[in-house]
Amino acid sequence: MRKLLMTMILTAGLIGAGGAGAGESGPCHFHGKKVASEETVSNCAAERKELLIMDGKIDPSWEPVEQDKIEMIDGKKGKEWLVTFVNPAVADKTKEKLYMFFTAPGNFIAANFSGK
C-alpha cells in the first residue's frame, strides 16, 4: 500500500512539473544561435502582446493594434529584434508606442514604452 501511495505522489509531481514549464518551451522559445525570420518574430510579438494584455500589463485597447515596424538593432549583447506597435487610442500619449525586444533567435527579452 505504501509503495502504491508513493508511486501516485511521484507521478502526480511529475505531471504537475511538466505543465509548469510548458510556457517556456512553447512555439516562441528557441535554442541555438540561428537568426529567426521576421515572420517568426512578428508572430511571437503578437503572441506576447496578447499575454501582456491578459496579465494586465498593458491596456486592452492594444488588442486590435497591428505591428507598425520590425527591425534588427544593435542591443546590449549583440543583435536584437525590435518590434514596434503604435496605439493612437491610448489616453496617455507617452504610452502610444509599445516596443518589444527579442534576441536574434527570437526569444522575448522585454517590452516597454520608452524604446530603451
- The pTM (predicted TM-score) of the whole model is 0.75
Mean pLDDT calculated for residue range 85-112: 95
Structural domain total, the chain? 1
Is the separation of the CB atoms in 66 and 49 below 8 Å? Answer: no
What CA–CA distance (Å, rounded) separates 76 from 73?
10
Instruction: Please say if the pLDDT value at position 18 is more than 70.
Output: no
State which residues form the domain around 70. 2-112
Output the nine-digit C-alpha cell for 81. 529584434
Over residues 49-69, the pLDDT tens digits come to 999 999 999 999 999 999 999
Q: Which of 69, 74, 76 is nearest to 100 (CA)?
A: 69
Phi, psi of 37 (to 5 degrees): -75, 160
Is the separation of the CB atoms in 108 and 48 below 8 Å? Answer: yes
Q: What percent of the chain has pLDDT over 90?
A: 63
